[in-house]
């Protein structure tokens, strides 16, 4: 199978799963005490983790095009962190005691951090995780609109979401070039599937414990 054929197959698997995850998020109402602001505070953790993961991988990526793509993602997700933080402050939230990493890193970050090859990182981190962010953000945007919070919806729709789409596309564009042997394709497939499984598991936990089913991604 060529790298492109492999990606088309992977795309099918990933999109089916993302549709299921987004459908489950859309179908679940958040707990009544979970506000949009609380979801945005949760999003800070996703953004800082996405930025840090890209920075870690950038340093060890031997391929220049991958290195530059990761550097772009690192900067964009850090900028999203700042935008969300500024937005929360403008809405009157005191963030002086908020530290998204105070309780450590998520299982998703720890899994992604453990990936050592370029094809696994592109498949899991950029193609799948950023695809997941896109799907989650879309559910969040619809939820904000339904609640009449057009400005938060606009922040995501106009600024954050196009960047997440770009990160996802970077993975899609680079993966065929590097997933060019059956062995590398198998590594990439397994990393993407594990990311999706983790996402579903985490979504389940978020829904059951915190009623945060519509929270945005990164």
The residues binding Fe ion (CB under 5 A) are: 47, 50, 77, 80, 130, 164, 167, 218
- CB-CB contact of 36 with 153 (8 Å): no
- CB-CB contact of 127 with 14 (8 Å): yes
Token digits of residue 161: 């979401």
Q: Helix, strand or coil for residue 101?
A: coil
Minimum distance of Fe ion from residue 46's CB (angstroms): 7
Minimum distance of Fe ion from residue 186's CB (angstroms): 26
Decide whether 25 or 185 has the Cβ nearer to Fe ion: 25
Buried b (16+ CB within 10 A) or exposed e, 164-195: bebbbbbbbebbbbbbbeeebbebbbebbbbb
Residue listed under structure tokens 């945007």: 141
Decide whether 139 or 218 has the Cβ nearer to Fe ion: 218
Decide whether 6 or 74 has the Cβ nearer to Fe ion: 74
Minimum distance of Fe ion from residue 80's CB (angstroms): 4
Minimum distance of Fe ion from residue 130's CB (angstroms): 5
C-alpha separations of 87 from 44, 67, 153, 155 in Å: 11, 30, 12, 9
Decide whether 31 or 55 has the Cβ nearer to Fe ion: 55
């Amino acid at each position: 199978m060529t790298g492109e054929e492999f990606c088309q197959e992977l795309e099918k698997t990933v999109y089916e799963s993302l549709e299921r995850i987004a459908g489950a998020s859309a179908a679940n109402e958040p707990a009544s005490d979970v506000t949009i602001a609380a979801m945005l505070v949760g999003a800070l953790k996703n953004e800082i983790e996405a930025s840090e993961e890209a920075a870690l991988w950038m340093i060890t990526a031997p391929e220049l095009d991958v290195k530059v793509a990761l550097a772009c993602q690192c900067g964009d997700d850090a900028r999203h962190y700042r935008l969300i933080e500024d937005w929360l402050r403008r809405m009157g939230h005191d963030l002086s005691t908020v530290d998204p990493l105070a309780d450590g890193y998520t299982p998703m970050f720890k899994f992604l951090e453990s990936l050592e090859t370029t094809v696994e990182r592109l498949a899991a981190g950029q193609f799948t995780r950023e695809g997941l962010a896109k799907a989650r953000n879309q559910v969040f945007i619809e939820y904000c609109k339904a609640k009449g919070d057009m400005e938060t919806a606009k922040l995501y729709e106009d600024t954050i979401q196009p960047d997440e789409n770009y990160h996802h596309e970077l993975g899609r564009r680079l993966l065929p070039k590097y997933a060019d042997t059956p062995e590398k394709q198998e590594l990439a497939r397994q990393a993407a599937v594990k990311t999706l499984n983790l996402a579903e598991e985490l979504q389940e936990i978020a829904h059951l414990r915190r009623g945060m089913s519509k929270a945005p991604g990164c």
